[in-house]
């Protein structure tokens, strides 16, 4: 092999990195390029003529949200994104998008873990809820990291009146915890107590939040709003 100088090696390495970056930019990972301002949606846009929830419209709104942050839309995300209006019919106020990257209960039920991404449109909230212990599974422990946008977590503690005033009026009567924690991108906050009631509310840009948690048992989920359901 012919000898090369350090300068030649560095130049070649830099060219290789640039080429790899260009290839990655063109490979199946949509949403990498940051888009413009989000469309302000009306609630009626997410419901069909017969009143049923239009999941396709909801998913498209979340893909637009991801694009606004330059968040990559991987193929498995596009295929497996799920959306909810929690059965209350006010998607722009109470709804969410999400994907479970992994949700496993292993070693004959000794432990489990969850990797979850949460997507909320501007001003949208997840209704107040909590996770109980069931005959088979322990109550869920969880923490959240804000990746993009703005989010306020609500949980037990002294009320934060200015934050409570931002809760959609339709859900305000169905909340019991009033203490607010505002996250900045990168911040991580845990649930203060397993089985505590809690919820989150997106800010004016919407948000993308990563959840780190123990196993999520759908049968262990409880809502304060009697009309809310999965």
pLDDT score at 106: 85
pLDDT greater than 80 at residue 62? yes
Which of 26-35, 107-116, 180-189 is modeled with the greatest confidence? 180-189
pLDDT score at 35: 64
Instruction: Kindly report, residue by residue over 78-136, the tens digit of the pLDDT.
Output: 999 999 999 999 999 999 999 999 999 887 667 899 999 999 999 999 999 999 999 88
pLDDT mean across residues, the chain: 88
pLDDT score at 45: 98
User: Which residues is 149 bridged to in the sheet?
Assistant: 207
pLDDT score at 33: 59
Among 178, 172, 176, which residue's Cα sits nearest to residue 160?
Answer: 178
pLDDT greater than 80 at residue 6? no
pLDDT score at 153: 98
pLDDT greater than 50 at residue 138? yes
Copy the structure tokens of residue 145: 């990291």
Residue 37 banded pLDDT, cuts 50, 70, 90: confident
Sign of CA dihedral 117, 123, 124, 126: positive
Residue with tokens 């419209």: 57
Second CATH level (architecture) for the domain 6-223 = Sandwich (2.60)
**Domain spans of the chain?**
6-223
pLDDT score at 83: 98
Q: Report how far residue 193's alpha carbon sits from residue 19's, in angstroms, rounded to the nearest whole number.
A: 49
pLDDT score at 13: 40
This prediction has a pTM of: 0.85
């Amino acid at each position: 092999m012919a000898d090369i100088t350090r300068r030649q090696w560095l130049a070649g390495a830099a060219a290789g990195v640039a080429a790899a970056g260009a290839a990655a930019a063109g490979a199946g990972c949509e949403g990498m390029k940051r888009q413009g301002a989000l469309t302000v949606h009306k609630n009626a846009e997410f419901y069909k003529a017969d009143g049923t929830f239009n999941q396709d419209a909801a998913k498209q709104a979340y893909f637009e949200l991801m694009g606004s942050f330059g968040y990559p839309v991987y193929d498995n995300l596009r295929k497996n994104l799920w959306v909810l209006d929690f059965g209350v019919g006010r998607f722009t106020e109470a709804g969410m998008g999400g994907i479970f990257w992994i949700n496993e209960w292993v070693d004959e039920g000794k432990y489990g873990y969850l990797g979850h991404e949460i997507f909320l449109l501007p001003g949208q909230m997840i209704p107040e809820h909590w996770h109980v212990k069931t005959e088979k599974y322990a109550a869920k422990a969880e923490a959240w990291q804000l990746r993009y946008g703005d989010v306020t977590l609500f949980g037990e503690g002294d009320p934060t009146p200015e934050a409570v005033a931002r809760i959609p009026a339709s859900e305000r009567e169905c909340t019991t915890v009033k203490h607010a924690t505002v996250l900045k991108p990168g911040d991580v906050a845990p649930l203060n107590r397993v089985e505590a009631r809690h919820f989150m509310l997106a800010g004016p840009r919407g948000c993308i939040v990563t959840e780190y948690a123990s196993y999520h048992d759908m049968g262990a989920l409880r809502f304060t709003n009697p009309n809310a359901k999965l």
